[in-house]
Amino acid sequence: MKKKTDEQREKESRLASLYDEYFDRIARYIYARLGNRNEAEDLAGDVFLKALESLKSYKERGVPMQAWLFRIAHNVLVDRLRKRGKTATVPIDSVTIVAGEDPAAITAKNIEMERVNEAMQKLTPEQREVVRLRFFGGLSSKEVGAILRKSDGAVREMQSASLKKLRGLLKGGGPDF
């Protein structure tokens, strides 16, 4: 049996700490695309399994390990969507309802989420991905750039253009945008 190197143990330790910190964020990122919480959590687990399996080949290249994890998540998600043959969105009835929340507030929140989902579909696929990674995944523009193989500046420009377009689409207040 091969003996683990100090470098390998260090990578495993970092991956374990990232699991605690990033599992929920990766699951939210996947959920935003699939709309199924259980499937998103299963795929997030697959992401960490794939990361563990390929940990020996991971090399520091000036990009944080968490960006590498989101790249794996992106690839796992793309593979799942190819198998499905279609893109899913978050259904309005899947919005989490907090106990004791006002029904009128819940309804307003659901309507707003539906409007945001419809507006997101009018962005380019790359713009949607930037928004998902930045806001659902909670990544920095540099980390998103590493995942999408774009510069930090290009990601910031795409984010700015995406948010400007979303604001314009949502500004009208009606379902027609």
Instruction: Give per-residue pLDDT as tens, 101-121.
Output: 677 776 776 677 777 778 888
Q: What is the pLDDT of residue 164?
A: 93
Query: Which has the higher per-residue pLDDT, 80 or 14?
Result: 80
Cα dihedral value 10, 74, 170, 94, nearest 10:
-90
**What integer is the mean pLDDT of 66-93?**
76
How many other CB atoms sit within 10 Å of the CB of residue 17?
Answer: 11
The pLDDT > 70 percentage for the chain reads: 82
pLDDT band at 98 (very low <50, low <70, confident <90, very high): low
Q: Hey, which of 33-37, 63-67, 89-93, 125-129 has the most confident mean pLDDT?
A: 125-129
Tokens of 99: 């106990």
Taking a C-beta distance cutoff of 8 angstroms, is the pair 55, 41 a contact?
no
Give me the pLDDT at residue 86, please.
54
pLDDT at 173 over 60: no
- What CA–CA distance (Å, rounded) separates 139 from 52? 21
What's the pLDDT score for residue 12?
Answer: 82
CA distances from 5 to 12, 18, 19, 49, 65 (A): 11, 20, 21, 20, 19
Residue 93 pLDDT class (50, 70, 90 cuts)? very low
pLDDT band at 100 (very low <50, low <70, confident <90, very high): low
pLDDT digits (tens, 9 = 90+) for 127-166: 998 998 998 888 889 889 888 889 999 999 999 999 999 8
Q: What is the pLDDT of residue 3?
A: 65
Handedness of CA 32, 38, 39, 41 (dihedral sign): positive
Residue 175, pLDDT score? 46
Residue 33: is its pLDDT beyond 60?
Answer: yes
Confidence category of residue 47, pLDDT binned at 50, 70, 90: very high
**In the chain, what is the greatest distance between 2 CA atoms, to the nearest angstrom?**
65
- Is there a contact between 147 and 139 (Cβ–Cβ < 8 Å)? yes
Q: Taking Cα atoms as reference points, which of 131, 127, 10, 133 lies closest to residue 69?
A: 133
In order of their start, the domains of the chain are 1-88 (1.10.1740.10), 95-177 (1.10.10.10)
